[in-house]
Amino acid sequence: MTTPFGWSSTGTAERDVPVIRLKNDSDLTEKYEFGSKLGQGSFGEVYEATHLETRTKWAIKMVHRPAPGSKMVETVDNEISILKQVNHAHIIHLEAIYNSAAMIYLVTELCKGGDLKQLLQQKKSFTEDETRKIIFSLADAVVYLHQRNIVHRDLKLENILLKNSSNEGDDRFDIKVADFGLSVKTGGVEIGNIMTEACGTLIYMAPEMMSGRGYSQWCDVWSIGVIMFMLLCGEPPFVSQTQRGLLKEIMNKVRFTQPAWASVSGAVCLNSQMGVDLPPEGGPCLSHDCSSAAGDSLDCRRAYSTFWTQQCAGDD
């Protein structure tokens, strides 16, 4: 039996995340044994670490404390604030925060499988069944965020982590949404709470984010559509040698010319996510305008309640 779509499969209340003050940065080595470097992002380096008392394994993000008043202060504070508010099976879990005069250490669950971008580079493309499972979990997490008036605004392959390595049985596509530095918590998703700041990664950005007219939570749905396209085809839906050309491509309709679409039933769902009209014989179309008021358009949960994504429940 599967969890109702759009609700956390953890079924638990939001957590109180402990915040511990360190006199010296070296004090952290009395609590954790540091292992291999997992990666490096805009904030700082990430290492695998083992809690010495419990022997449980975690990932620790080491962030150099930003200069007061800098943009990075807002970004770091924003990520911490969002992660302390969420508790979902497909969103990265924040376990604890350690602070020193120079550093901030975020202890999160360990994801051994890297990110979706790395896995796509290895696999070249995903099967329809694999893509369906990933997109269902991703959409479930996004619905959870939107229900709490949180808009991610930077969904991309690099920000979707894999809990396990790609060859570990049924759990090989257990994803975790990460990197909430550009996320925003709105007063709601009605027309009065339309956002105007363009942010994120260009190839994943919805057209209305660049139009200057404002946008809503639908920007996340567009990004999921781009991710789905890339998983199935192994390439982005928009390609250009220049940024100006790429902007023009994004503002136009998506073209399905890749060979993968000859056998993929998900084109119906993807068309609906990315604002492309389908003929009546094309199946159930869920057309939307990403900048519409919530009352005038389908919400994210309904956008994914299609035969294509719901088949995932029958496959488990």
Domain boundary among 109, 143, 173: 109
Q: Is the domain of 58 the same as that of 161?
A: no
Residue 268's SS3 state is helix
Q: Which residues contact 205 (CB under 8 A, 6 or more apart)?
A: 198, 219, 222, 223, 250
How many separate domains does the chain show?
A: 2
Q: Which of 154, 174, 220, 299 is catalytic?
A: 154
Q: Which two tokens stand for residue 10?
A: 């953890």
Specify if 41 maps to a domain: yes
What are the helix (H) ranges across 113-217? 116-123, 128-147, 207-211
Q: Is 133 annotated as a binding residue?
A: no
pLDDT tens, position by position, for the chain (316 residues)? 344 444 444 443 457 899 999 999 999 999 999 999 998 866 789 999 999 999 999 999 999 998 888 888 888 998 999 999 999 999 999 999 999 999 999 999 999 999 999 999 999 999 888 988 999 899 999 999 988 989 999 999 999 999 998 665 667 799 999 999 888 887 654 433 455 565 667 788 877 776 667 667 888 988 998 999 899 999 888 877 788 877 777 777 666 666 666 666 645 455 544 544 333 333 222 233 333 333 333 344 444 444 344 444 444 4
Q: Do 133 and 281 belong to one domain?
A: yes
Domain holding 131, by residue range, is 116-315
Q: Do 143 and 96 sit in the same domain of this protein?
A: no
* CATH code, domain carrying 124: 1.10.510.10
Examine the residue annotation and report whether 154 is marked as an active-site residue of this protein: yes
pTM score of the predicted model = 0.78
| Co-location of 175 and 295 in the same domain | yes
